[in-house]
Every structure is written in C-alpha cells, then in structure tokens.
Amino acid sequence: MIGVQHTPTGEGLRPFSPVHVAQPSRRGRVPGDFTINWVRRDRDLGADNWAAAEIPMTEPSQAYEVDILNGANGANVVRTMPAATPSAVYTQADQVSDFGAALAPGDALRIRIVQLSATFGRGAPADVILQF
C-alpha cells in the first residue's frame, strides 16, 4: 500500500457564490444612492428544494462583503462594504469618495460579492458588472 499525505483545506465548508445579482435600484433611496441585491446559496442539502420559501442556513448568521472594484479589469478593490443581509447600499457620498463623481447613466461598475463563513472565511465570489 502506498501512503498518500493530504492536508485538509476545508474547501467543503467554503460558501457558494451568491447568485441573481440584480441591476442597481435607486427606488426608495436618496438620489444617487443605489441598492445592490442578490440571492444567497448554501451547502445544506435542503437548499436544493425548489418548493421551500427560504433555504436552510448552515452558518449561524448571514454575513457578506461587497468589494467595489476599479482599475484595469477591475483589479483594484477601492471599497469593501459589509452586509448582514443579501443587500447593500452604495451611497452617493461613497461613490464620490471612490471615483471622484457619482455613477451616472451609461456607467458600469464591477463588484465582487462573497458570503462569509465563521469556519472558512470568504466564500466563492460572484463577480458582476453593473450597468447604470
């Protein structure tokens, strides 16, 4: 028998990437602010139930980070916004701080959303380009 050495990395605990990232919504917000919404996923076997109103959670609570990206191919993180729900508000003040002006119709913004795990850390990213 040949011995194989393996170091577990915990990859099976890594949260899946969020899905169905919606284009920004400005409804109900201060002009210039916009809301980013997404749908969480989970590794729980019951999460694949299409009839369930809400999928089960294996984490003790929801926690996300939304990276606002800039530069060639969105390589630079200019801001990381924490979120406790599958939604985050990117304020006009933060847009001006990050880019020198508020985002306007015709602009595009690249973001990365990750779910956080208490045992693994940052999960698989959802890398999305939002159009305004």
pLDDT in tens, the chain (132 residues): 678 887 766 666 778 789 889 887 655 566 788 899 998 877 665 555 566 566 666 777 889 999 999 965 667 999 999 999 999 999 999 999 999 999 888 888 999 999 998 888 899 999 999 988
- pLDDT in the model for residue 55: 64
Look at residue 22 and tell me if it is in a domain: yes
Does residue 107 lie within any of the structural domains?
Answer: yes
Q: What's residue 10's pLDDT?
A: 63
Per-residue model confidence (pLDDT) at position 52: 59
Residue 5 lies in a domain: no
In a domain, residue 1? The reply is no
Q: Is residue 8 part of a domain?
A: no
Domain containing 98 equals: 13-48+57-131
Q: State how many domains the chain has.
A: 1
In our burial notation (b when 16+ CB lie closer than 10 A, e otherwise), range 72-90 reads eebeeeebebebeebebbb
